[in-house]
Amino acid sequence: MLVLVAPGQGAQTPGFLTPWLDLPGALDRVQGWSDAIGLDLAHYGTKADADEIRDTAVAQPLLVAAGLLSAEALGSPAVGAVAGHSVGEITAAAYAGVLSETEALKFVRTRGLAMAEAAAVTETGMSAVLGGDRDVVVAHLEKLGLTPANINGAGQIVAAGTMEQLAALEADKPEGSMKVVALKVAGAFHTHHMVPAVDKLAEAAQALSPADPALKYVSNKDGLVVTTGADVVARLVGQVANPVRWDLCMETFAELGVTGIIELSPGGTLTGLAKRALKGVPSVALKTPDDLEKAAALVAELTA
Mean pLDDT of 13-25: 97
How far apart (Å, rounded) are the C-alpha atoms in residues 175 and 284? 33
Sheet of 124-131, strand order: 147-153, 156-162, 124-131, 177-182
- DSSP class of residue 141 equals H
User: What pTM did the predictor assign?
Assistant: 0.95
Is pLDDT at 186 greater than 90 in this prediction? no
What's residue 304's pLDDT? 78
What's residue 28's pLDDT? 97
Contact 3, 85 (CB under 8 A): no
Q: Using CB atoms within 10 Å of the CB of residue 302, give its burial: 0 to 12 exposed, 13 to 18 middle, 19+ buried.
A: middle
Q: pLDDT (tens digit, 9 = 90+) per residue, 248-291?
A: 999 999 999 999 999 999 999 999 999 999 999 999 999 999 99
The boundaries of every CATH 3.30.70.250 domain in the chain are: 124-182
The terminus-to-terminus CA distance of the chain in angstroms comes to 12
User: Which one, of 168, 188, 59, 54, lies nearest residue 121 by Cα?
Assistant: 188
Residues 237-255: b if buried by 16+ CB within 10 A, e if exposed: bebbbbbbbbbbbbbbbee
Q: pLDDT (tens digit, 9 = 90+) per residue, 194-253?
A: 999 999 999 999 999 999 999 999 999 999 999 999 999 999 999 999 999 999 999 999
How far apart (Å, rounded) are the C-alpha atoms in residues 22 and 133? 44
Contact 63, 87 (CB under 8 A): yes
What's residue 89's pLDDT? 98
Contact 205, 93 (CB under 8 A): no
> How many beta carbons lie within 10 A of that of residue 31, not counting itself?
14
The boundaries of every CATH 3.40.366.10 domain in the chain are: 2-120+191-303
CATH of 2-120+191-303, picked from 3.40.50.300, 3.20.20.140, 3.30.70.250, 3.40.366.10, is 3.40.366.10
SS (HEC) of 73-109:
HHCCCCEEEEEECCCHHHHHHHHCCCCCHHHHHHHHH
Taking the alpha carbons of 158, 159, 162, 163 in that order, is the dihedral positive or negative? negative
Assess if CATH 3.50.50.60 describes domain 124-182: no
Mean pLDDT of 19-47: 97
Mean pLDDT of 144-153: 96
User: Which one, of 168, 240, 228, lies nearest residue 204 by Cα?
Assistant: 240
Contact 216, 5 (CB under 8 A): no
- In the chain, the amino acid numbered 170 is E
pLDDT confidence of 141, banded at 50, 70, 90?
A: very high
Is pLDDT at 184 greater than 90 in this prediction? no
Catalytic residues: 86, 190
What's residue 242's pLDDT? 96
